[in-house]
Structure 1
Amino acid sequence: MAHESRSYRPGGRRESPFYSAFTPSIEGVGYPERGEVRAVRILVVEDEPMLRDGIVDLLTGAGHEVEAVADGMSAVEKGRAESFDLVLLDLMLPRLGGIEVCRRLRTARPGLPILMLTARGAEDDKVAGLRAGADDYVTKPFGVRELLARIDALARRVAAAPAEPEVIEEDGCRFDLGRCVATRNGESIHLTAREVGVLRWLYRHRNRGVTRAELLEQVWGTLGTLQTRTVDMTIAKLRQKIERDPSNPRIIVTVTGVGYAWSEASD
């Protein structure tokens, strides 16, 4: 299904048509010992089921944690809401093309490495992907050793770069954005992916006010199909969850004539 999202932990392989067709080349990869693996959390975006399953099996077999989606909009939503070390992104996708997915993820998560899959010999596609913000690309059909090597190279870059905070504390509320959970007075509060996206964007731009249109574009991934009232409704529900006094918010504040801001922007 186009909207399906699945999680895969490091471990053994599953039987799939991909392995029936490509087992000889994959079995020859020679996975590193578990202790040598630079394990990262990877978002795989590929709409072709056989290839997607094969990539997932390859990466989990190499020790990585993998989430997989089959369309561009799901990739944008998950990439904005959750914490990933790397995105493996196909160019041709339903609902939203890979180039636009790359642009939106690059805007929302500037430090997130993106490895794009392109057709062999399609130089224009490679150039477009790199200009949209991709860090690297591999061509189809690709060698599995090359794919693992490029992922490891990007993982080294991630390890050397300062990470965006996943745990934030503000006004007595603790946010674990990677787990979509907030905690206040010892009580655990579930956050939706959209709510986490709003929190991420406001916190990242906490030195200024953020317009409703900007939130629609960056968190919802759209400007034309939704009204700004959608943002107000989401923030109202979020305030009910996280604020000491939702009628007098201290974490997500209203900026008159602009929109909303993280509390520090109102100082």
Structure 2
Amino acid sequence: MRVVVVEDHQDLREVFIDRLLSEGFDVVGASCAEELDEHLAATATHLIVLDVNLPGESGFNIAQRLRAGHPGINIIMVSARTEEQDRIRGYESGADFYLTKPVSPTELLAAVKAVRRRIHAQTEADASLALSPSGLKLTNGDKDAYLSKSDTALLKGLALAPDLRLPYWRLFEITERIADDNSKSQLELQVHRLRKKLEEIGVPDSFIRSIRGEGYQLTLPIHIEN
């Protein structure tokens, strides 16, 4: 698993890198947004350990930008900011984990391993998710979830969309809703219930990702059977 540690304090960055390298991770370091972008352009990356207080572009802004351009990347945000509003801002910016400094190398390693487990679970689901010809059954390995027509339309629409992503207005159309605030609430409830249903067959909750203010995106493809 490829990891980039973005931390402007060299000593701390090297401590984190050494700890992760000792556990067999493929790790490189960056001190700012520009160096991070160079790594992302050169090699596929699975996880970014991201300091908030960086020179130039802040970690919050970087996370927002990454969520738009690299939605599959996982982010562990590290910050000396411990207030609740800072943690909330971190998660809303796109962090999967928000760790407050001082962070020990052992704590960081535990978070990185948690991300690795999630990636492995998603990879396993990726290999086995299939929508039946009728569209009313989603299969994950040897487990089935039976779907409503509206759930089928939602999943099939996302599965066929570019980047597995659709805006709210398009989701309203395919689920036969009027574009208003009430329909948005109904759609959010539908997605919540669908996530719970799919969890019963081993599909991770992160399978349907909410894009704040925009719509939804699948984090794994679905094979649509003929």
State TM-score, norm by structure 2: 0.52
Question: Is 1:76 matched with 2:37?
Answer: yes
Amino acid in structure 1 at the alignment position of 2:91: L
Map 1:1-267 to 2 at 5 A. 40-119=1-80, 121-162=82-123, 204=163
Amino acid in structure 2 at the alignment position of 1:73: E
d(CA) in 2 for partners of 1:106, 1:76: 14
Report deviation, 1:75. 1.7
d(CA) in 2 for partners of 1:54, 1:147: 11
Report deviation, 1:67. 1.3
d(CA) in 2 for partners of 1:120, 1:155: 26
Report deviation, 1:147. 1.4
d(CA) in 1 for partners of 2:67, 2:40: 10
Partner of 1:166: none
Percent of matched pairs sharing the same residue: 36
Amino acid in structure 1 at the alignment position of 2:9: E
**Quick check: 1:89–1:114 contact (8 Å CA) kept in 2?**
yes
C-alpha spacing 1:43/1:81, structure 2 compared with 1 (3 Å)? same
d(CA) in 2 for partners of 1:82, 1:56: 17
Report deviation, 1:148. 1.1
Amino acid in structure 1 at the alignment position of 2:53: M
Equivalences, count: 129
Amino acid in structure 1 at the alignment position of 2:63: C
**Quick check: 2:67–2:94 contact (8 Å CA) kept in 1?**
yes
d(CA) in 1 for partners of 2:36, 2:52: 12
Residue 43 of structure 1 aligns to a residue in which SS?
A: strand
C-alpha spacing 1:80/1:107, structure 2 compared with 1 (3 Å)? farther
Report deviation, 1:93. 0.7
Superimposed CA distance per residue, residues 121-173 of structure 1 (whole angstroms, 9 cap, x where no aligned partner): 2322211110011101111111332211111011111112249xxxxxxxxxx
Runs of 4+ more than 6 Å apart: none
d(CA) in 2 for partners of 1:86, 1:123: 24
Report deviation, 1:56. 0.9
d(CA) in 1 for partners of 2:70, 2:104: 28
Residue 95 of structure 2 aligns to a residue in which SS?
A: coil
Give the number of the structure whose residues are more often helix, by fraction. Answer: 2
**Quick check: 2:77–2:98 contact (8 Å CA) kept in 1?**
yes
Report deviation, 1:44. 0.6
State TM-score, norm by structure 1: 0.44
d(CA) in 1 for partners of 2:74, 2:86: 18
Amino acid in structure 2 at the alignment position of 1:92: N
Residue 117 of structure 1 aligns to a residue in which SS?
A: strand
**Quick check: 2:21–2:27 contact (8 Å CA) kept in 1?**
yes
